[in-house]
Amino acid sequence: MLSNHFQNGIETAKLVWSRLPSSDDVTEELESRMNGGGGAESLDYEVVENYVYREAQAKRSKLYNWYYAMLKWLFALLIGVGTALAAVFINLAVENFSGWKYAATFSIIQHSYFLGFLVYALFNLVLVLSSVYIVTQFAPAAAGSGIPEIKGYLNGVDTPGILLFRTLIGKIFGSIGSVGGGLALGKEGPLVHTGACIASLLAQGGSTKYHLSSSWLHPFESDRERRDLVTCGCAAGVAAAFRAPVGGVLFALEEVTSWWRSQLMWRVFFTSAIVAVAVRTAMTWCKSGKCGHFGSGGFIIWDISGGQEDYSFQELLPMAIIGIIGGLFGALFNQLTLYITSWRRSYLHKKGTNVKMIEVLVISLVTSIISFGLPLLRKCSPCPNSAINPDIDCPRPPGNDGNFVNFFCKADKEYNDLATIFFNTQDDAIRNLFSAKTFQEYSAQSLLTFLIMFYSLAVVTFGTAVPAGQFVPGIMIGSTYGRLVGMFVVKYYMKLNVDEGTYALLGAASFLGGSMRMTVSLCVIMVEITNNLKLLPLIMLVLLISKAVGDFFNEGLYEEQARLRGIPLLETRPKQCMRSMIAKEACQSQKIVYFPRVVKVAEVVFVLRSTKHNGFPVVDRGSGGQELVIGLMLRSHLLILLNSKIDFQNSPFPGDPRTVTSRHTFSDFVKPVSSQGLSIDNINLTDDEKEMYLDLAPFLNPCPYVVPEDMSLAKVYNLFRQLGLRHIFVVPRPSRVIGMITRKDLLFEENENSTAMELQTSVRAQAHRRSTRRYDHLDRPLLNNLLIRE
């Protein structure tokens, strides 16, 4: 019996492994979709209100509506818990790997510095190799921060592979290797992507490919509903990364989403609150010593509440200078990473996965040499007077977190200030830079050396084939030059109560504002992670200045990277040239392909093979013999009808739409998440089947959005983006009015007796028809143009 179970387990493992995609297959798929002719595909955020959908809605009872609403809140809870557990696992792994590395290194350098360097570099190489191997061989979509791709998804662009189960696994374990391996990267951006992946997998009920699906979790059946859950996942990722639940909500609102509503705000807030509670519970459990080397680091919380209490107007000038420096450094960082990443994708990465792996390993080795070698060139400094500073432990015991690292120091009561930054996890290094009442702990030469080297490493490392975030590296860069400015203020403004750690905080905020161009969410995040509300006006000042300076040179980091990856983002505002254009001008060069209501199967196959359109207008003959648009038919729905074949008919005349509900349910038309779905090449039809007909009326969207041909293109742009549309029809200006809806027509109470409500609506409709009867003699114009937005 036991041997049989063991054999079955081996066979199952072989089956799962055989289904894993090879790196070449996945890479070719990504590059062909993103850089090739197919391009990124748009998402259908608009509800297709076809006959099947309306029948499904009519059958839903109030009990089902309550169940559906409770399911949304349950999923918000599960997203929060799942993201928090993923964050706890990543932080525990990174802290313990880093703790083992530093403990072994400090133990060995007591006897041999060269042997200590070999152990340190080898430890980093092994961790980084695990990260780049997972990404290149298993989950190429897990490379980078993932925020540009998630931002594109919430903007309406479906980037292939970004929300799959293998991407989630690659993001978690890849982040552990890249961050634990000492690269100039962070884990906060990947955590946002991790939360989005968890939300997407819950929305579809799990992963059917790896047999991890559950039937009792009702999958959400439209891109619109999945979009809401992915938004909750993004906020949960920020809340878990920074322990900043309010900042997570504002990050989702300001940075990644293009569409928002009050009901979504409640669920996003609830998800972030769940994350905060779960993370705090995990940290409380770890304080008992059950988490190995995980101590005060890991989850970011840099408490500087004991630092500078107040500020004077004389300090506003150096603080404004910090904002200007942050804007300049942030814009330069964006431009350099754009150039290097573009060259890397165009030349280096096209040579295969082995080149990607060698590149990351070389960068890891260079990082180890710099972080280990530069502190050896610095002179040690004497420890502060213990009588004056009784709370300071100098030098720091080997293997523990904190300030004052004794590295290559001859005397016992000395420390190496540059090693204090390099020989720490990034969270602990930032905590040291933010530390209050530690005047003259760092020399200007050490801070300047670290700034130049770490800035260069961050620019070169960003864009490699590993999960990479830029929040924490940006904070380290900004806090370094911020502390330099603070040292200048302490030296020349001698009578002011100035703290260097406060200026380090402002520098961190300025660099993030100059690079990522966030304001409100970043301001709240910085306040939450420092636990100092008094610094809020100063953070707002440097953020506004740094963003204004950065915007003068280029766009934000995520917008630049999204454009580099071929993600067609719709910005918040239309281009200036659109204000002088009309809708008709934007679609003059298009070749419209449409179907009649009843179409031959062979014609459908020919059109799908010869075009790449994802939406087709459907026309029918009116009572006067003129062609009228009756709706929009999606390519994905046509493929489903061709594959099922149960709707084929021999007659070229319309059928009864009521018979459709006996053959189909609304779930039959649900598109798989982050996958290509059906292809016309995968559908086999006989010659006899191609001679049959399809009645498209029950399956099309009968009410697509329509704009007149002379509408301003800027107005069309705002309508398209704010409603999350995929297609808009452009038609001649209508000459006949059948009614007018005002605010009062939408303000009625739903009575238990539905007849009263229907009567009330009918009376108002008759009044409108009487008021517009003088237009009845005018003919309805013919359709002359349609705008299909792919």
Residues 6 or more apart whose Cβ sits within 8 Å of residue 616 = 593, 594, 595, 607, 632, 633, 634, 635, 638
End-to-end CA distance of the chain: 57
pLDDT at residue 657 tops 80: no
Distance of CA 385 to the CA centre of its chain: 48
Q: Where residue 219 falls among pLDDT bands split at 50, 70, 90?
A: low
Q: What percent of the chain has pLDDT over 90?
A: 32
Q: In whole angstroms, give the CA distance from residue 652 to residue 734.
A: 31
Q: Which residues of 451-490 are buried (b: 16+ CB within 10 A; e: fewer)?
A: bebbbebbbbbbbbbbbbbbbbbbbbbbbbbbbbbbbbbb
pLDDT at residue 532 tops 50: yes
Confidence at residue 392, expressed as pLDDT on a 0 to 100 scale = 67
Confidence at residue 10, expressed as pLDDT on a 0 to 100 scale = 44
Q: In whole angstroms, give the CA distance from residue 244 to residue 293.
A: 23
Confidence at residue 572, expressed as pLDDT on a 0 to 100 scale = 83
Of 415-424, 553-562, 707-716, minimum mean pLDDT range = 415-424
Mean pLDDT of 256-262: 81
Confidence at residue 32, expressed as pLDDT on a 0 to 100 scale = 44
DSSP 659-712: GGGGT--GGGGPPPTTS----GGG----HHHHTSEEE-TTTSBS---EEETTSB
Confidence at residue 16, expressed as pLDDT on a 0 to 100 scale = 37
Q: In whole angstroms, give the CA distance from residue 118 to residue 590.
A: 63
Q: Which of 167-176, 251-260, 292-301, 605-614 has the highest mean pLDDT?
A: 167-176
Residues 6 or more apart whose Cβ sits within 8 Å of residue 31 = none
Q: In whole angstroms, give the CA distance from residue 357 to residue 352.
A: 9
Mean pLDDT of 700-706: 89
Q: In whole angstroms, give the CA distance from residue 152 to residue 570.
A: 9
Comparison of pLDDT for 270 and 781, the residue scoring more = 270
Comparison of pLDDT for 751 and 279, the residue scoring more = 279
Confidence at residue 672, expressed as pLDDT on a 0 to 100 scale = 61
Q: What percent of the chain has pLDDT over 70?
A: 80
Whether the upstream peptide bond of residue 219 has omega within 30° of 0, thus cis, is: no
Comparison of pLDDT for 392 and 171, the residue scoring more = 171
Comparison of pLDDT for 723 and 784, the residue scoring more = 723
Mean pLDDT of 529-538: 83
pLDDT at residue 310 tops 90: no
Confidence at residue 402, expressed as pLDDT on a 0 to 100 scale = 61
Confidence at residue 178, expressed as pLDDT on a 0 to 100 scale = 93
Q: Is the separation of the CB atoms in 690 and 602 below 8 Å?
A: yes
Mean pLDDT of 78-106: 90
Give strand pairing partners of 42: 157
Comparison of pLDDT for 319 and 624, the residue scoring more = 319
pLDDT at residue 218 tops 80: no
Confidence at residue 684, expressed as pLDDT on a 0 to 100 scale = 87
Confidence at residue 601, expressed as pLDDT on a 0 to 100 scale = 92
Provide the 10 A C-beta neighbour count for residue 397: 10
Per-residue pLDDT tens over the stretch 439-451 = 677 888 989 999 9
Comparison of pLDDT for 327 and 735, the residue scoring more = 327
DSSP 274-313: HHHHHHHHHHHHIIIIITTT-SS-SS-----TTS-----G
What domains can you pick out in the chain, each with its CATH number?
317-362+380-565 (1.10.3080.10), 576-746 (3.10.580.10)
Q: Is the separation of the CB atoms in 561 and 148 below 8 Å?
A: yes
Q: In whole angstroms, give the CA distance from residue 147 to residue 562.
A: 9
Burial class of residue 262 in the structure, from the number of CB atoms within 10 Å of its CB (0-12 exposed, 13-18 middle, 19+ buried): exposed
To the nearest 10 degrees (0 to 180), the angle between helices 557-564 and 147-155 is 80
Provide the 10 A C-beta neighbour count for residue 495: 7
pLDDT at residue 533 tops 70: yes
Closest to 72 measured CA to CA, from 202, 161, 181: 202
pLDDT at residue 528 tops 70: yes
Q: Is the separation of the CB atoms in 697 and 51 below 8 Å?
A: yes
Confidence at residue 495, expressed as pLDDT on a 0 to 100 scale = 61
Confidence at residue 403, expressed as pLDDT on a 0 to 100 scale = 67
Q: Where residue 394 falls among pLDDT bands split at 50, 70, 90?
A: confident
Burial class of residue 347 in the structure, from the number of CB atoms within 10 Å of its CB (0-12 exposed, 13-18 middle, 19+ buried): exposed
Comparison of pLDDT for 667 and 147, the residue scoring more = 147
**662 phi/psi in degrees, rounded to 5:** -80, -15
Q: In whole angstroms, give the CA distance from residue 756 to residue 240.
A: 50
Please, where are the H alpha helices in 306-352?
Answer: 316-343
In this structure, what token pair is assigned to residue 400?
């523990």
Confidence at residue 750, expressed as pLDDT on a 0 to 100 scale = 54
Mean pLDDT of 186-200: 91
DSSP 55-112: HHHHT--HHHHHHHHHHHHHHHHHHHHHHHHHHHHHHHHHHHHHHHHHHHHHHHTTT-
Confidence at residue 231, expressed as pLDDT on a 0 to 100 scale = 93
Q: Where residue 2 falls among pLDDT bands split at 50, 70, 90?
A: very low
In this structure, what token pair is assigned to residue 771?
């008021």
Q: In whole angstroms, give the CA distance from residue 156 to residue 42.
A: 6
Of 486-500, 603-617, 623-637, minimum mean pLDDT range = 486-500
Mean pLDDT of 307-318: 76
| Mean of all residue pLDDT scores within the chain | 81
